[in-house]
A and B are shown apart, each in its own frame.
Chain A
Amino acid sequence: MSPASTDGLKRPGQAQAPAIQALGLTAGFGGRDVLQDVSLTLNDGEILCLIGHNGAGKSTLLRVLFGLHRPSAGTLRVFGEQPGQHSPAAMGAAGVALVPEGRGVFPDLTVEEIFGLALWSAGVPKSGQRERVDEVLDVLPRIKEFRTRRAGTLSGGQQQMVSIGRALLTRPRVLLLDEPSIGLAPKLFQDLIRPIAALRESRGMAILLVEQNVREAFAVSDRVLVMRSGKFIFEGAPSELDDHAKLMELF
């Protein structure tokens, strides 16, 4: 895929530099490359959906983009700048947040403790914390119902809400979501993803959404990438994959 071939839906006021621009990323484990020379552009304010088989390299790509896994080759720019270090802290400072696969919460901590931890790690001073939490509660108001409970006692949907809320507390400009629908009923996933997708409009946030739940994910996405064996094999608008046969062929 050519890195320049990504034009999504340009919006007024969109920054010139893409939210994320990765060139020639190669990464793997124990000598086996899971990502092979992958290039990707995520435009500012865009929702890009990444689909593919289990083991295609989607989660590894997100881990590399968030600085959790060091690529053996390739470069990475966030809003045109190369982060000083390839680390989660540096990516966080550059405005990137990751909502990991599975339940991204600590089961023995309360929701408030989890939020406190996220605000502390983002270096938000005490005086500004209330405002940040209120912002998140505006987007995900149901969290108010279980703020004082331990995350381990919450349902899957509630935990996912907390995990996403935790990431939003850092006011990310780029949100990386790794299969948020796992274990959730389709209706629940819609309720969860729609307010997040709306943030793209209100805050100009770019979202890279890794999903298996194609139908729901396509409904909110501007563009789709299909990954197989560590490479992109398709790029286009979600409508191009409306044809079920084409989707099956790619999978």
Chain B
Amino acid sequence: MLFLQLLLNGLQVGAIYALTAAGFALIFGATKIFHVAHGTAFTIAGYVFLFAWRAGWPGWAGAAAAVLAAMAFGVAMERYVYRPIQRHEGSFFTVFVAAFGVGIVVQNVIGMIAGRGFATVDTPLSFSAEILPDVFVAPMLWISLATAAVLFIALTVFLTRHPAGVGLRALSQNPDLVRTYGLSSNGLSVLAFAIGSALAAPAAIVTVMTTGLNEAIGHQVMLISIAATIVGGIGSLRGAALAGMMLGIAESLALQFVDTQWAEAVSFLVLFGFIIFRPSGIFGVVQTR
């Protein structure tokens, strides 16, 4: 039964990883910007929800505020950090250090405001009930899985049916040609950051309501997102989501053999395995730029 319990826990963690990884992969795929501050959008969304909850806001209002905050952060990063760097033809390392720096600043500001250490909210949704002998599940598990599934389907429909979504796919293939079509590559880039960052918010909210979060959680989220993007195959959104789910389950199942504090390393062992044996990832696509 321990296996089933860990698998179910893994599904919940996996849903969180899948959503954040899909957001990171969407941004990276469309804009080719290695958005290291993606974890910061997660942290901001989580704390906005936490503060809203503590201020007595209804859950839906807190969730909406969290989504908006994540989107605003992502768009601001694109507009005020990445775009000026790219305009001056800054290198990959400039982008990396700038984004990492923003992450550290936000982490410290949140630490100053909210205090250090784990914070969580109490909700009946995270109270577990015994569904089988020795197997406990909280409603939050089903909510997380349903949210991840619905958002992923919505994202897929958007990218294949809506012209703006098709525009994002076009941007990932040839930004210069996008301009020839009369479209604004800057506008599409902002859209990619808005949607990609918004995807981190539901994952952050689930985290606040279950395990809780601290101001440094963004780094872990970012590392997992990168690992999932590589394992899934760079350029593949469903690959990133599937890999995120897989890493969540792997981390949880590893608890059968190792202590909690080592679980995170399992994701990276999986990543190394892929780098050695299948470097193109699950759905590796050949980039045609």
Contacts from A to B (Cβ < 8 Å):
66, 68, 88-89, 91-92, 98, 100, 104-109, 113, 116-122, 152, 166, 170
Contact = CB atoms under 8 A, between A and B. Distances in A.
A161 to B, nearest CB: 16
A189 B39 CA distance: 52
Contacts of B179: 68, 88
A108 B170 CA distance: 8
A170 B179 CA distance: 14
B182 A89 contact: yes
A100 B181 CA distance: 10
A96 to B, nearest CB: 10
B196 to A, nearest CB: 19
A31 B177 CA distance: 24
Contacts of A89: 182-184
Interface string B167-186: 10110011001011111100
A66 B163 contact: no
18 contacts: A89-B183, A91-B182, A104-B177, A106-B173, A106-B174, A107-B288, A108-B173, A109-B166, A109-B169, A109-B170, A116-B166, A117-B163, A117-B166, A117-B170, A120-B167, A121-B163, A122-B182, A166-B181
B217 interface: no
B288 A113 contact: no
Contacts of B180: 66, 68, 88, 98, 100, 104
B68 interface: no
Given A92-B182, A107-B288, A121-B183, A100 B177 contact: yes
B177 A106 contact: yes
B121 interface: no
Nearest to A119: B163
A165 B182 CA distance: 15
B223 interface: no
B85 interface: no
Contacts of A100: 177, 180
Contact of A88 (B163, B169, B182, B288): B182
Nearest to A98: B180
Interface string B154-165: 000000000110
Interface-central residue, B167, B179, B180, by most chain A CB under 10 Å: B180
Nearest to B173: A106
A166 B178 CA distance: 12
B169 to A, nearest CB: 6
A91 B180 CA distance: 10
B182 A121 contact: yes
A117 B184 CA distance: 12
B288 A117 contact: no
Interface residues of B, number: 16
Given A88-B182, A106-B170, A121-B163, 12 more contacts: A88-B179, A88-B181, A89-B183, A104-B177, A106-B169, A106-B173, A107-B288, A108-B173, A109-B169, A116-B163, A121-B183, A122-B182
Nearest to B179: A88
Given A68-B180, A88-B182, A100-B177, A120 B170 contact: no
Nearest to A151: B173
A120 B178 CA distance: 12
A101 to B, nearest CB: 10
Interface in B179-224: 179-184
Contacts of A152: 288
Nearest to A97: B182
A100 B179 CA distance: 11
Nearest to A118: B181
Nearest to B183: A121
Contacts of B174: 106
Nearest to B174: A106
Contacts of A170: 182
B182 A108 contact: no
Given A68-B179, A89-B182, A98-B180, A120 B169 contact: no
A120 B174 CA distance: 18
Contacts of A121: 163, 167, 181-183
Contacts of B167: 117, 120-121
Nearest to A96: B182
A93 to B, nearest CB: 8
A92 B163 CA distance: 18
A117 B173 contact: no
Contacts of A92: 182
Contacts of A120: 163-164, 166-167
Contacts of A117: 163, 166-167, 170, 181, 183
A91 B179 CA distance: 11
A107 B173 contact: yes
Contacts of B173: 106-109
Contacts of B177: 100, 104-106
